[in-house]
Amino acid sequence: MNIKSAEFVKGIVGTDDTLENDIPQIVFIGRSNVGKSSVINSLTKKKGLAITSNTPGRTQQINLYYINRLFYLLDMPGYGYAKVPKKLKEKIVKLIDWYFFKSDYEQKVIVVIIDAKVGPTEDDLHMLRSLAKHNKNVVIVANKIDKIKSSLYEGRISELKNQFSKYLLIPYSAIKEIGVGELIGVITKR
Query: Which residues form the interface with ligand GDP (CB under 6 A)?
Result: 30, 32-38, 54, 78, 143-144, 146-147, 173-175
The least CB distance from residue 36 to ligand GDP, in Å, is 3
- Measured from the CB atom, the residue of 23 and 117 that comes closer to ligand GDP is 117
- Measured from the CB atom, the residue of 123 and 146 that comes closer to ligand GDP is 146
Cα separation, 31 vs 41, in Å, equals 17
70 φψ region: left (φ > 0), alpha (ψ -120 to 50), beta (else): alpha
Cα separation, 153 vs 30, in Å, equals 22
The least CB distance from residue 145 to ligand GDP, in Å, is 7
Q: CB-side exposure of 84: number of CA atoms within 13 Å?
A: 17
The least CB distance from residue 135 to ligand GDP, in Å, is 26
Q: Which residue is nearest to ligand GDP (CB)?
A: 35
Residue type, 137: N
The least CB distance from residue 120 to ligand GDP, in Å, is 15
- Measured from the CB atom, the residue of 11 and 30 that comes closer to ligand GDP is 30
The least CB distance from residue 57 to ligand GDP, in Å, is 14
H/E run at residue 130: helix 122-133
Distances (CA, A) of 100 to 1, 27, 127, 137, 172: 27, 10, 11, 12, 25
- Measured from the CB atom, the residue of 127 and 174 that comes closer to ligand GDP is 174
- Measured from the CB atom, the residue of 23 and 49 that comes closer to ligand GDP is 49
Cα separation, 117 vs 160, in Å, equals 10
Burial class (CB in 10 A: 0-12, 13-18, 19+), 71: middle
The least CB distance from residue 34 to ligand GDP, in Å, is 5
- Measured from the CB atom, the residue of 45 and 103 that comes closer to ligand GDP is 45
